Amino acid sequence: MKTYNTDDTHIITMNKDKQNLALETKDIHVWYGDNEAIKGVSLEFEKNKITSLIGPSGCGKSTYLRSLNRMNDQIDGTKVTGKIIYKNIDINSSKVDVYEMRKHIGMVFQRPNPFSKSIYENITFALKRHGQKDKQTLDEAVETSLKQAALWDQVKDDLHKSALALSGGQQQRLCIARAIAMKPDILLLDEPASALDPISTSKVEETLINLKEDYTIVIVTHNMQQASRISDYTAFFYMGKVLEYDQTKKIFTRPKIQATEDYVSGHFG
């Protein structure tokens, strides 16, 4: 297989007031034991935009995404260096309360993973754990987050039925509702539609586009059409580095790096 020079990169910075940034990483490296899976990634994520992370299997997309809310901490033998700046705080610092931080930076995984509880309890679980007891507040959180996740109309009469009785696409939108019930600023999603059929996929995509008004979204996807349909910015990962980061339309029409062009046109990966 052709290999590419990983020193040849094109990475935009927002060149604006940093006020427009929801999150910024500076020189992130991630090791699993001796394997350096992420080799110095610095990216800026603009507020109220969708950013896609794309690239061939094994290039480090999930590893990088998990570093953004410290999910790699849970994997033995991992080491993460570099800064992750959120509201002027380096959340990669050992002083940060990770549990508290994840209220602001939520995550949705590849396979829908609702708890085997009712729809209502799925959404209120974390709120209750954080001390919320008021029934009216909980009811409102359920309604608002299900509406935002475009699921309310389908489930409003079944809130006390098991979440496991929902279709895969509905379960994934429930997981999005569960994540946004905590009112995070940033939503991280790792291939949230890869296990879904095309209709459910387009519903999840619509949901994400609507959520952009209130949230900053970072999404890993293998689906090039999906990245070009929904995202404002795209980062192309290759062998643990970002080779190109730009507006999505540039990445898909006029990429500056040969590897990006070959990848988005389906020549490898």
Q: Which does 102 bind (CB under 5 to 8 A by kind): Mg ion, ligand ATP, none?
A: none
234 lines the binding site for ligand ATP (CB under 6 A): no
Task: Give the list of residues 6+ apart from residue 232 with CB closer than 8 angstroms, or none.
Answer: 46, 49, 50, 51, 247, 248
The one segment of 17-25, 53-61, 172-180, 198-206 that binds ligand ATP by CB under 6 A: 53-61
**Selected range binding ligand ATP among 20-28, 29-37, 85-93, 129-137, rule: CB under 6 A:** 29-37
- Is 78 a binding residue for Mg ion by CB under 5 A? The answer is no
Quick check: 67 binds Mg ion (CB under 5 A)?
no
Q: Interface with ligand ATP includes 57 (CB under 6 A)?
A: yes
Among 5, 27, 58, 197, binds ligand ATP (CB under 6 A): 58
Residue 170 DSSP SS3: helix
CB half-sphere exposure, 225, CA atoms < 13 A: 6
Burial tier of 6 (Cβ tally within 10 Å: 0-12, 13-18, 19+): middle
Judged by CB under 5 A, which of 25, 51, 52, 62 binds Mg ion?
A: 62
By a kind-dependent CB cut-off of 5 to 8 A, residue 60 interacts, out of Mg ion, ligand ATP, none, with ligand ATP
Residue with Cβ nearer ligand ATP (55 or 169): 55
Q: Which stretch binds Mg ion (CB under 5 A): 57-65, 97-105, 145-153, 205-213?
A: 57-65
Rounded (10°) CA dihedral 83, 84, 87, 88: 0
Between residues 80 and 151, which has the closer beta carbon with respect to ligand ATP? 80
Task: Show contacts with Mg ion in window 210-239 (CB under 5 A).
Answer: none
Tell me how far the alpha carbon of residue 156 is from its chain's centroid: 27
Q: Is 25 in the site for ligand ATP (CB under 6 A)?
A: no
Stretch that binds Mg ion, among 61-69, 79-87, 132-140, 194-202 (CB under 5 A): 61-69
Beta carbons within 10 angstroms of residue 134's beta carbon: 10
Contact 72, 78 (CB under 8 A): yes
139 binds, among Mg ion, ligand ATP, none (CB under 5 to 8 A by kind): none
User: In which element (H, E) is residue 48 found?
Assistant: none
List beta partners, residue 188.
107, 218
Distance CA(148)–CA(146), nearest Å, equals: 5
Query: Nearest distance from residue 53's CB to ligand ATP, in Å?
Result: 8
Number of residue whose CB is nearest Mg ion: 62
* Site size for Mg ion (CB under 5 A): 1
DSSP annotation of 36: E
Which of residues 121 and 190 has its CB atom nearest to ligand ATP in the complex? 190
CB of 257 closer than 8 Å to CB of 10:
yes
Span 98-137, contacts to ligand ATP by CB under 6 A: none
Cα–Cα distance between 31 and 38 in angstroms, integer? 7
Output the CA–CA distances (angstroms, integers) from residue 186 to 48, 50, 213, 230, 233, in the order listed: 9, 10, 12, 16, 15
Would you tell me which residues interact with ligand ATP (CB under 6 A)?
A: 32, 35, 37, 55, 57-63, 75
